Structure formats: structure tokens, C-alpha cells
């Protein structure tokens, strides 16, 4: 039995809730039924985002981190888990401030390496040719979790299934559980060929699940939120009930209260604040 609510276990939880569970469906051998694993995984990631938004508003410091970035011709690529920028600075702590793109230096003027502008998923210094290492302070966002079958196993390595993100470094520092081998590891590196570096030997055809990045007290709510999402789909053989929705909201309120403590919300209750976010059937 795995130790955490990884994506594989969450998919199993949702499948049981909609009376569509079997080991062959979990492992992709049987593709019949109302839902594909991909559809359920999307609902799980939507549920994770919903919970993250609630936690971030009250405890954004939980997601504060830093990374050292190396410039390539003055361009600094943001990390895969980047959500919101807090501070960009040199390694000796001088702040690099934002500059309006209408105020960039003209050709031959030199520009300043202490000014940057945002371009897509990069930060660009307003001085040409910079390769300095700079530090980025930023808030992270939870990356999408996934599950599947190892394509190629080996010592300290596992090639994830084609359902995994085809983006280098995307799963870096996320936890992954080998369901078949009953092992867990932090992914220390991930390549664009879907090869994850882990601290155990993975078997080819082992099944795995990646662990969500939101605080663990909320892991138990991910599957239940995903159940409500999946049950609301037209093809679902089981529909959500008011009792289920009410119980989820009660547990969400209590988890928020116990994890984050009292909050100053004027003359409104915390239940009002959370319940107004979305209407459940």
C-alpha cells in the first residue's frame, strides 16, 4: 500500500465513487466504461487547483521559494512551477527592477543589467549579452499530477508514460511513488524524453503515481472534489448529491480552519467566505 495520496490512488478513489473501478481500467488494459483515466486525472488536477487557490490566499508564504537562474544572452527562463514573481536580484542581493518595454535602451546605448522586462515565460535584462547568475524569488504553483506505467525501468531511472508532460524539468523535486514496487522518491531530474531520475530501481511496466504539491492536510479533499466534478459530467452513471457536496464543504471549512487558524474577515463567517466561491449541486 502506498503511503500518500498519489495520482494513482486518487484515480482509484474516483473510479470507486462512480462504480467504474477495476484493476484493468486503472492500468489502461480495459478502456470501456464511462470515463478514461485521462478524464479523471484532469478532474483531479482541477480539484488540486481549486484547493490551491484557497490555501494561497491565506498562506502564500507556504509557496515561497527561490532559484538561481543563468542568463543566456540576457534571457532568464522561468521555472516550470513559477506562479508569481516576488523579487529578481543579483547574487549579491542588488534588486533587478521591472522596466516598461516602451522605455528599453536604444541600440548602442548599453542599457542596464539592473532592469528587466517579462517576455512570455522568460525575464529579459535591459542590457545585451548578460550571462550572470541571478536569483529569483517567487511563489510556486502546484504542477499537474499524473499516473501511468513505466516504459523503461532501471537503476535510478524510470521513463514515464506518454501521458506525462513532455517538458524538461517539469516534475523536478516532485514525489513519485512506484505502486508496483512500493517505493517512493523525489524526482531529482526530468528530461524532455520523459526520463525521471529517482533514488530506486524501477521495473519496466511498474505502475506509478505522482504526489500532489499542495499541503498534505488537503490531499484527502482532492479526490472528493474530483468525485463531485466527475459525477457532474453527463455520462456519469452516478450523480452528485447535496449530502456529498455539503459534507465536502464542511470538511473543507474545518481543514482550512485547523490548518490556517483564525482569519480576520470582518462580520462574515469563514463558511460564508468559502461557500461563496462556488455553488455545488
Asked whether residue 43 is assigned to any structural domain, the reply reads no
Rounded alpha-carbon distances, angstroms, from residue 98 to 69, 87, 110, 111, 131: 17, 10, 17, 13, 18
Identify the domain boundary among 185, 210, 235: 210
Q: Which residues contact 241 (CB under 8 A, 6 or more apart)?
A: none
Asked whether residue 26 is assigned to any structural domain, the reply reads no
For residues 178 and 205, the answer to whether their CB atoms sit within 8 Å is no
- Closest-CA residue to 15 (of 140, 59, 2, 32): 32
Pull the grid cell for residue 83: 506562479
**Are 66 and 130 contained in the same domain?**
yes
Identify the domain boundary among 140, 165, 199: 140
- Closest-CA residue to 11 (of 1, 19, 21): 21
Q: Which residues contact 162 (CB under 8 A, 6 or more apart)?
A: 148, 194
**Are 75 and 130 contained in the same domain?**
yes
In tens digits, the chain (281 residues) has pLDDT values of 445 689 999 999 999 999 999 999 999 899 888 899 999 999 999 999 999 999 999 889 999 999 999 999 999 999 999 999 999 999 899 999 999 887 777 666 678 899 999 999 999 999 989 999 999 999 999 999 999 999 999 999 999 999 999 999 999 999 999 999 999 999 999 999 999 999 999 999 999 999 999 999 999 999 999 999 999 999 999 999 999 999 999 999 999 988 877 555 555 555 555 555 544 44
**Are 126 and 181 contained in the same domain?**
no
**Are 133 and 194 contained in the same domain?**
no
Identify the domain boundary among 184, 210, 236: 210
**Are 88 and 136 contained in the same domain?**
yes
Q: How many domains does the chain have?
A: 2
Asked whether residue 151 is assigned to any structural domain, the reply reads yes
**Are 133 and 109 contained in the same domain?**
yes
Strands 97-98 and 175-178: unpaired
Asked whether residue 182 is assigned to any structural domain, the reply reads yes
Domain residues for the domain of 167 are 146-210
Asked whether residue 88 is assigned to any structural domain, the reply reads yes
Pull the grid cell for residue 255: 481543514
* 126-133: long-range pairs with CB below 8 Å, 24+: 126/99, 127/74, 128/73, 128/74, 129/73, 129/74, 130/71, 130/73, 130/74, 131/70, 131/71, 131/72, 131/73, 132/70, 132/71, 132/90, 132/91, 133/68, 133/69, 133/70, 133/71, 133/91
Asked whether residue 20 is assigned to any structural domain, the reply reads no
Model confidence over 55-91: pLDDT tens digits? 999 889 999 999 999 999 999 999 999 999 999 999 8
**Are 121 and 135 contained in the same domain?**
yes
**Are 183 and 202 contained in the same domain?**
yes
**Are 118 and 163 contained in the same domain?**
no
Asked whether residue 248 is assigned to any structural domain, the reply reads no
Asked whether residue 218 is assigned to any structural domain, the reply reads no
Amino acid at each position: 500500500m502506498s503511503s500518500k495520496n498519489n495520482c494513482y490512488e486518487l484515480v482509484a478513489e474516483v473510479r470507486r465513487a462512480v462504480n467504474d473501478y477495476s484493476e484493468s481500467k486503472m492500468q489502461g488494459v480495459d478502456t470501456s466504461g464511462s470515463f478514461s483515466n485521462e478524464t479523471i486525472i484532469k478532474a483531479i488536477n482541477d480539484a488540486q487547483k481549486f484547493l490551491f487557490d484557497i490555501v494561497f490566499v491565506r498562506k502564500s508564504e507556504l509557496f515561497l521559494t527561490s532559484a538561481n537562474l543563468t542568463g543566456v544572452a540576457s534571457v532568464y527562463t522561468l521555472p516550470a512551477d513559477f506562479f508569481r514573481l516576488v523579487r529578481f536580484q543579483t547574487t549579491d542581493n542588488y534588486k533587478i527592477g521591472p522596466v516598461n518595454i516602451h522605455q528599453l535602451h536604444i541600440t548602442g546605448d548599453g542599457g542596464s543589467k539592473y532592469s528587466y522586462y517579462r517576455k512570455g515565460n522568460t525575464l529579459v535584462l535591459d542590457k545585451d549579452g548578460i550571462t550572470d547568475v541571478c536569483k529569483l524569488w517567487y511563489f510556486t504553483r502546484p504542477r499537474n499530477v499524473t499516473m501511468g506505467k513505466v516504459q523503461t525501468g532501471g537503476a535510478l531511472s524510470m521513463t514515464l508514460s506518454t501521458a506525462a508532460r513532455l517538458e524538461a524539468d517539469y516534475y523536478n523535486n516532485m514525489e513519485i511513488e512506484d505502486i508496483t514496487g512500493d517505493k517512493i522518491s523525489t524526482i531529482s531530474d526530468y528530461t524532455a524524453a520523459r526520463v525521471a531520475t529517482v533514488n530506486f530501481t524501477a521495473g519496466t511496466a511498474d505502475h506509478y503515481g505522482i504526489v500532489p504539491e499542495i499541503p498534505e492536510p488537503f490531499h484527502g479533499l482532492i479526490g472528493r472534489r474530483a468525485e463531485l466534478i466527475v459525477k457532474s459530467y453527463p455520462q456519469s452513471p452516478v450523480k452528485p448529491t447535496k449530502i456529498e457536496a455539503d459534507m465536502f464543504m464542511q470538511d473543507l471549512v474545518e481543514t482550512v480552519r485547523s490548518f490556517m487558524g483564525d482569519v480576520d474577515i470582518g462580520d462574515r463567517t469563514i463558511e460564508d467566505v468559502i461557500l461563496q466561491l462556488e455553488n455545488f449541486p
